[in-house]
Structure 1
């Protein structure tokens, strides 16, 4: 797999405490560096700027920088369904200076690709689950219809005639639609994009009829009359979209699109560093105002232990493997 050069780094706002050059060891440990600034912690996001993992990394990273007393840098390394940036962290020194913010895709790629240059469990030391989001089905009102029933009727009347968008092959958006197609007995055609921005642009323009999308983007799209959010994949209606019924309420069950976003270090990172990073992340997540804007958009704060995140990754691997196998999906 060819690695692309890293994109320019974006340094999150520095605080006065950074001048002290605090060490990333146990709380209270200080490394004497005079007036020099401590080495930054780099969070690699293996997706494009503006994607949910990038948004979360910047919000949580800014708060962690204050708690660690060090700069936190967010670096986007997109490509190969997240494999490029993920591999970079798997190969990084286990010193707590290079971290990974990954999503559910970490558990999916092992089934989508014949080979991947890391092990989703063994190559990483989990730190904490940061947030989760639910999925929704959005339609271009003209091309796809204004309700789930209308979309299904149009799709059944024209098998293969309607297109749906995703940010790429093997993304949660793609797999959710494949699940939906099978549960609803529909034939609609996949149009993969290179990232979420292009997919959203084309559903707004009516070039595609539908797409599954997470709640933060759905909340924004629901304000535009060109797009209708017609169903959510959750077990119950969401407070951010109270008038939108669940798929199950509308007769389609078994469609899952609950995405998690977690923070990882390379395998072999000392436990005391993982504990310090976990503490800093959970402190940010527990601050009442720190993530208010994200929560209002539909991001659900999680937090918790490294062990809980490790279990999320491991449990999701066989579940998504079954979806990939049954749908005959391959990313290569």
Structure 2
């Protein structure tokens, strides 16, 4: 009998796992090497604020990273969902939080869209946060209900040109990536389809599956099960390259149906004024977490590609994306009302 399969070895592993659960549940933490900068963090739990409901891709990121960050820093980490106002409620909570490393924002590029859509906000979603790191990229695909008869994105463009405004598309709400992606599609394809905003992806998807609306952009992991069962037809992906989960699906540019590359970035921010050493700490630890095969698999099955960055690189990305979407919102006359 080798050491790995011995009863004493198995008992040791089980006791170790049990101790980990007991320690985590009681809030007591075993002595383990942690980065020196972590000693400057408050003893209170670290909050990962998600400005959207549980079950979203952003929530998945927080709940995947959270336990691993807790292990590495020797601090409890909790996920705090603060949904509402297109993410602005949770975002403002982080903007107003103490810059001591105890609060982080886990969000998506809706953040920069909101900066242009809500000019009367008492804070600037871009300028009033400290970028920490990019965590991943996600893709949106253009889908349609089978009753439309659309097989390709070109079919949709042709139908929309023949009957402007007759085709309805849904979104989880004004200013969401789903909404603005379709507005970019409309602008670059030279078509007009009517926007039907919903309160969340769930209701919009329900009406799409029921045929009450004809088309919309959906995250690839949300659409994929329905595409595979034939309840939805995938028309194209809003990216500059095809995706391994749907390798046969062309990009919208390949389909000559508009110049739409709307990859969604996901990332982590800290409150304004967070000390550089704490930003560097979180950047380093989270980027290491993203390299884990287990984390990569958890992300990829949801259609997200893990990707870290330096804090400076992430800041540059955020600022450039903010300008891009501000331009589209102004050109298309999009408002949050």
Q: Say if 1:135 and 1:258, in contact at 8 Å, map to a contact too.
A: yes
Aligned to 1:246: 251
Q: CA deviation at 1:194?
A: 1.1
Aligned to 1:78: 83
Instruction: Mark the CA change 1:244 to 1:137 in structure 2 (over 3 Å): closer, same or farther.
Output: same
CA distance in 2, matches of 1:94, 1:85: 16
Aligned to 2:119: 114
Aligned to 1:151: 156
Q: CA deviation at 1:24?
A: 12
Per the normalisation by structure 1, the TM-score is: 0.88
Report 1:287-306 matches (<5 A): 287-306=292-311
CA distance in 1, matches of 2:124, 2:76: 29
Q: CA deviation at 1:28?
A: 7.6
Per the normalisation by structure 2, the TM-score is: 0.86
Aligned to 2:225: 220
Aligned to 2:7: none
Q: CA deviation at 1:136?
A: 1.2
How many residue pairs match? The answer is 315
Instruction: Mark the CA change 1:316 to 1:19 in structure 2 (over 3 Å): closer, same or farther.
Output: same
Q: Say if 1:112 and 1:331, in contact at 8 Å, map to a contact too.
A: yes
CA distance in 1, matches of 2:126, 2:250: 36
Q: Say if 2:189 and 2:259, in contact at 8 Å, map to a contact too.
A: no
Q: Say if 1:27 and 1:276, in contact at 8 Å, map to a contact too.
A: no
Instruction: Mark the CA change 1:308 to 1:205 in structure 2 (over 3 Å): closer, same or farther.
Output: same
Instruction: Mark the CA change 1:15 to 1:250 in structure 2 (over 3 Å): closer, same or farther.
Output: farther
Report 1:52-63 matches (<5 A): 52-63=57-68
Instruction: Mark the CA change 1:14 to 1:27 in structure 2 (over 3 Å): closer, same or farther.
Output: farther
Q: CA deviation at 1:110?
A: 1.6
Select the structure of larger CA radius of gyration: 2
Instruction: Mark the CA change 1:141 to 1:20 in structure 2 (over 3 Å): closer, same or farther.
Output: same
The one of 263, 268, 275 equivalent to 2:268 is 263
Does residue 1:129 correspond to 2:134, yes or no? Answer: yes
CA distance in 2, matches of 1:327, 1:287: 41
Q: CA deviation at 1:21?
A: 7.3
Report 1:166-177 matches (<5 A): 166-177=171-182
TM-align CA RMSD: 2.4
CA distance in 2, matches of 1:275, 1:149: 47
Aligned to 1:101: 106
Q: Say if 2:51 and 2:91, in contact at 8 Å, map to a contact too.
A: yes
Task: Structure 1: give runs of 5+ residues left out of the alignment.
Answer: 1-12
CA distance in 1, matches of 2:325, 2:113: 6
Q: Say if 1:111 and 1:324, in contact at 8 Å, map to a contact too.
A: yes
Greater mean deviation of Cα atoms: 143-152 or 208-217: 143-152
CA distance in 2, matches of 1:312, 1:193: 29
Q: CA deviation at 1:152?
A: 2.5
Q: CA deviation at 1:236?
A: 2.2
CA distance in 2, matches of 1:202, 1:189: 15
**Aligned with 1:290: secondary structure?**
helix
Task: Structure 2: give runs of 5+ residues left out of the alignment.
Answer: 1-19
CA-to-partner distance for each residue in 1:171-214, whole Å, 9 max, x for gaps?
Answer: 11111101111222222110111111211222112111111122
The one of 314, 320, 328 equivalent to 2:325 is 320
The one of 245, 254, 277 equivalent to 1:272 is 277
Q: Say if 1:121 and 1:310, in contact at 8 Å, map to a contact too.
A: no
CA distance in 1, matches of 2:204, 2:169: 9
Greater mean deviation of Cα atoms: 126-135 or 141-150: 141-150
CA distance in 2, matches of 1:204, 1:98: 38
CA distance in 1, matches of 2:62, 2:72: 15
Q: Say if 2:38 and 2:73, in contact at 8 Å, map to a contact too.
A: no
CA distance in 1, matches of 2:34, 2:117: 37
